[in-house]
Structure 1
Amino acid sequence: MSTLFEALWNGDDDGVVRALRAGADPEAREDAETALYRAAVGNQPVAVRLLLAAGADPARRGGEDDADLPLCGAACGGHAEVVRALLAAGVDPDQEEGYGFTALAWAIRLGHTEVVRELLEAGAAPDRPGPDGLAPLVAAARRGSTSCVRALLEHGAGSRAEALDEARRWIGADMAAVLRRGLVEGGGAGDTYEAVVRRVPEDGGVTVIVELLREDGAPTRGDERQTGHAAIATLLEGALGLRTPHEELAGRALRCGDPAQDAWTTAVAALTARPDDTVATTATTWCAAPDALRRALGVQVLAALPGHTARALPVLRGLAREVGAELREAGAGGVAGAAAGAGSPFPREPALSLAVALGQCADAGAVPGLLGLAGHPDGEVRRQTAAALTGLVPTGHAEAVGVLVGLSRDHEPRVRDWATLALAELPDDTPAVREALAARLADPDPETAAEAARGLAIRQDPRAIEALARVLADGDPDGPARETALAALEHVADPRTRTRLEWTPPRGR
């Protein structure tokens, strides 16, 4: 093996430099592979740039029958930085390698959205069929990659009706069974396999991976597919101007069961794009449903409908009061119980959606409802409650101040951080607020400590000065805590003290 290829196999960029300086040919081949192809497949962007600078041709084919292209090899692996380097060197984004594949065709079929976007931005044809005859949008719909579909739609890809048919075909399918059947049918007659299934949350949904093992445990082959077909159908229906029935959109959201997934968020977006009384009435009905997830869906849709805050707020506040009453009745209410990690039979939804929705209303009338959610045993609900209360609490609201003080002592750092921010933003300047902020100056989370110092600086409390100096000197020089501390300096009244703090260099430890 040549010195150049040895360096590439070992991922040794310095070795690549030494080999090229010693006269290695940047167009060299070993085992039919060009050096550039090896670096591209190996996701070695530095080596790729070094070879290009030394004169390697980014469009030169390699491999058996000269069928392989560096750009396609990088696209197969999802190596976006390598793809960027090759495109910057002038390679044609639509260059075909053996068997009719382009880099875009590979990236779409393997779900590498960042690479898809790079290629489209570089001018790759969004409608060029792959070797299987599928238009890119149809191939992305079959793959189940919502983000690839979005990228193609943004670049004007056609075949939208065909892609919609493809997406609808796979909604609700048992993808693991589909992949296993395809793999087994491609095996030898009489072979017996064990299927190993993994489900990986990614890209706004779930990727299903199936691998076949022989009886002796040896791996044979595998396949994978994403499950964003419901979200894709919703996106394509919107692109085609189709008005999907409310209940069908709800079914797609509820089938995925996760408000963070694309199937849910695209359904909510499609519904809230119809700001009419029918949607508002339907969402209000869902808010009273016995199923917790359907209530959460109703909450999200109702809160996001433009111009319907006056109608939404009483419904949301009433639901929040119900959750708070149930928590108190079960003995799980109260910030102290939540902070101690008290157990509860209460699920995260619809409480989490209520906290977010009440915050979106941006109305002080939401405060009573939010206070009922502060004792929820789920930390994310408490965090969102604290975040929603930030800037909403009117002057003199003793109950809200007490709740935020309690949340600022929560056992979860992210809850303390948001509660401390909310305390800092309160219009009140009372001993209770100051002492609660001072208690957080030594918080193990640097951002929480910085927020506490900012809150005290706003109130001209001298305890802020030492705390700000500590954050500025000892904190991460590029971290958010330092940014918060620097922002707090505008509240330091004494010019000499402010100048000293502004010139405090980070120790870099």
Structure 2
Amino acid sequence: MDGTELVAAVRRGDAEAVAALLEAGAAPDTVTDDGLPVLCLAVAAHDAAVAGALVEGGADPDRRLLDGTTPLVRAVDGGSPAVADAVLGREPRLRLPEAERERLLALARHWYERGAEGELRCRTGASGPARQARVMDDEYHHVTRLTLGGLTVRAGHGAILTDLEWAFRILTPVDELVARAVAHGDPDHVDWSSARWVLSERRSKETWSAVTAYRHDPDPEHRRFVLEVLHWYLMCPSSRRNSYEEDTAELLVAWATEGEEDPGVLAEVLRVLSETGHRESEAVGLRHAGHPDPRVRARVPDILLGWDTPRPPLGAAARAALLVLAGDEDRGVRAGAGGALIAAHDGSSEFTDLIVGLLRDPVADVRACTAEAVADGADRTAAVADALVALLDEDDLVTRLNAAYGLFRRDDPRTGQAIERVGPLPRPGFEHDHRLSAFRRWKWDRENPSAAAEQ
């Protein structure tokens, strides 16, 4: 098999075709017209999916090129953490000699410390500002793309340096990782996410102590980053010996109880605490139910609701607080309280009346959030069903979907009318939507009663 098809698939960014061609026997180190392997083509295009498919299919990331670089060196140069990770391959600490590991670390550190624009200017000799654009480097995190003098790179070298250090099991000082993370002040930046990941993986007592010491740091961005790391401790628990789940929960309770002056950070403390199931969580939530900042109040319903399964009945104080929050002046607080009321519905008319009120709220977002929660809720009263029918006239498709789905789940006689008012069931972007699937099945059963009866 010649490499024409593989080169074409790499050029058009078709990772599935690349994998299929490699499996069919295409040479993973096929070269292009410029004499470079196709892996370099994927690296230059910042195409992590194709680069990963090539490396998994046998492409050599350490192949020495005529200019003395390797595809892996070029990936580090290019500044995309996703691409560098894809090209790094498996067991790099064992595969790469020490000198090559040091070369990669020095290259990433040089780009990071000098700055991508400064290094581009040095390499190209170009003057004037670089063209900059914010681009997604992977599905969740972004990076700045810079073009100057005909060269384009992504400024993710801080994340690449962090990732390489961890891959080579270099325990970078916590202070340095925190500084890299908060440099852009953006939790969705690649530098933040890489530092968070590495610190959440380092489950030693020394790292835990150094990270949590930032709880008292005067910079709220440092405290916010600590909360992100703690959240990842909860999301990705390690062994029982070093999971720190109990320590994290205790720390969060103390943090929320002893005081946090920044409302945005306090809201994040409550958000993370709500996922711990700590015995003091309800008391912490009640303490902040009347906080002057709506960001804080919006986090209270989830804490009061708890995570126990089955969910115990709300205590009198928690119930009263939720009722107040459901009438809050802030739309976000009302929406959150409504979802909690629906999940904790105790069968009382008081809860039902508030839920109906939220389904008729003057703010569309509140109606939408409440409809989503009600669709799967347990309330089967006529008042709630009538409020769902009224939402079938909403401009927002998702609100109409949830209203119709709520009627469908209640076996309401107006279900057919509701489905028709949703509009055409095939919808771009909703191909696998469970609500549309249920509607299609409902219609088929009624159009084919004898076949449905046999099933």
Query: Is the TM value for this pair above 0.5?
Result: yes
* 2:338–2:370 Cα contact (<8 Å) kept: yes
Structure 2 CA distance, aligned partners of 1:199 and 1:167?
21
* 2:398 partner amino acid: E
* 2:66 partner amino acid: P
Matches within 5 A, 1:176-325: 176-184=117-125, 194-203=128-137, 204-211=141-148, 221-275=149-203, 284-287=212-215, 289-305=217-233, 306=237, 307-308=245-246, 310-311=249-250, 314=253
Structure 2 CA distance, aligned partners of 1:237 and 1:384?
43
Structure 2 CA distance, aligned partners of 1:433 and 1:304?
38
Shift of the 392–459 alpha-carbon distance from structure 1 to 2, 3 Å rule, reads same
Matched, 1:173 2:114: yes
- Residues 325-358 of structure 1 deviation map (CA, whole Å, 9 limit, x = unaligned): x6xxxxxxxxxxxxxxxxxxxxxx5477557635
Structure 2 CA distance, aligned partners of 1:453 and 1:128?
58
Q: How far has the Cα of 1:179 moved from its partner?
A: 1.2
* 2:388–2:404 Cα contact (<8 Å) kept: yes
Structure 1 residue runs without a partner (length 5+): 1-56, 60-68, 186-192, 212-220, 327-348, 504-509
Q: How far has the Cα of 1:458 moved from its partner?
A: 3.8
* 2:15–2:49 Cα contact (<8 Å) kept: yes
* 1:258 partner amino acid: D
Structure 1 CA distance, aligned partners of 2:258 and 2:425?
42
Name 1:115's counterpart in structure 2: 50
Shift of the 399–127 alpha-carbon distance from structure 1 to 2, 3 Å rule, reads farther
Structure 2 CA distance, aligned partners of 1:280 and 1:299?
12
* 2:136 partner amino acid: E
Which residue among 258, 272, 295 is the counterpart of 1:357?
272
Matched, 1:499 2:445: yes
Q: Which runs of 4+ in 1 moved over 6 A?
A: 319-323, 374-379, 381-384, 396-401
Structure 1 CA distance, aligned partners of 2:270 and 2:162?
26
* 1:303–1:361 Cα contact (<8 Å) kept: no
- Residues 288-325 of structure 1 deviation map (CA, whole Å, 9 limit, x = unaligned): 544332232122222332323632553576599977xx
Matched, 1:124 2:75: no
Structure 2 CA distance, aligned partners of 1:432 and 1:277?
55
Matched, 1:483 2:434: yes
Which residue among 431, 450, 473 is the counterpart of 2:401?
450
* 1:167 partner amino acid: A
Which residue among 372, 375, 384 is the counterpart of 1:421?
372
- Residues 55-94 of structure 1 deviation map (CA, whole Å, 9 limit, x = unaligned): xx844xxxxxxxxx77557646756577568657754221
Local SS of the residue matching 1:259:
coil
* 1:200 partner amino acid: R
Structure 2 CA distance, aligned partners of 1:148 and 1:165?
18
Shift of the 72–127 alpha-carbon distance from structure 1 to 2, 3 Å rule, reads same
- Residues 266-308 of structure 1 deviation map (CA, whole Å, 9 limit, x = unaligned): 2222222234555555555544544332232122222332323
* 2:81–2:156 Cα contact (<8 Å) kept: yes
Structure 1 CA distance, aligned partners of 2:362 and 2:251?
30
Local SS of the residue matching 2:114:
coil
Local SS of the residue matching 1:206:
strand
* 2:162–2:194 Cα contact (<8 Å) kept: yes
Structure 2 CA distance, aligned partners of 1:130 and 1:384?
58
Give the share of equivalent positions with the same residue, in percent. 28
Name 2:318's counterpart in structure 1: none
Shift of the 266–100 alpha-carbon distance from structure 1 to 2, 3 Å rule, reads same
Matched, 1:372 2:286: no
Name 2:105's counterpart in structure 1: 164
- Residues 110-149 of structure 1 deviation map (CA, whole Å, 9 limit, x = unaligned): 4222221232233212321233222333322222111112
Structure 2 residue runs without a partner (length 5+): 238-244, 290-294, 300-324, 450-455
Name 1:466's counterpart in structure 2: 417
Matched, 1:144 2:76: no
Shift of the 257–180 alpha-carbon distance from structure 1 to 2, 3 Å rule, reads same
Structure 2 CA distance, aligned partners of 1:396 and 1:282?
48
The TM-score normalised by the length of structure 1 is 0.61
Shift of the 97–276 alpha-carbon distance from structure 1 to 2, 3 Å rule, reads closer
Local SS of the residue matching 1:474:
coil
Structure 1 CA distance, aligned partners of 2:35 and 2:6?
14
**Which structure has the bigger radius of gyration?**
1
The TM-score normalised by the length of structure 2 is 0.67
Shift of the 382–296 alpha-carbon distance from structure 1 to 2, 3 Å rule, reads farther
Shift of the 463–279 alpha-carbon distance from structure 1 to 2, 3 Å rule, reads farther
Shift of the 475–98 alpha-carbon distance from structure 1 to 2, 3 Å rule, reads closer
Local SS of the residue matching 1:440:
helix
Shift of the 477–283 alpha-carbon distance from structure 1 to 2, 3 Å rule, reads same
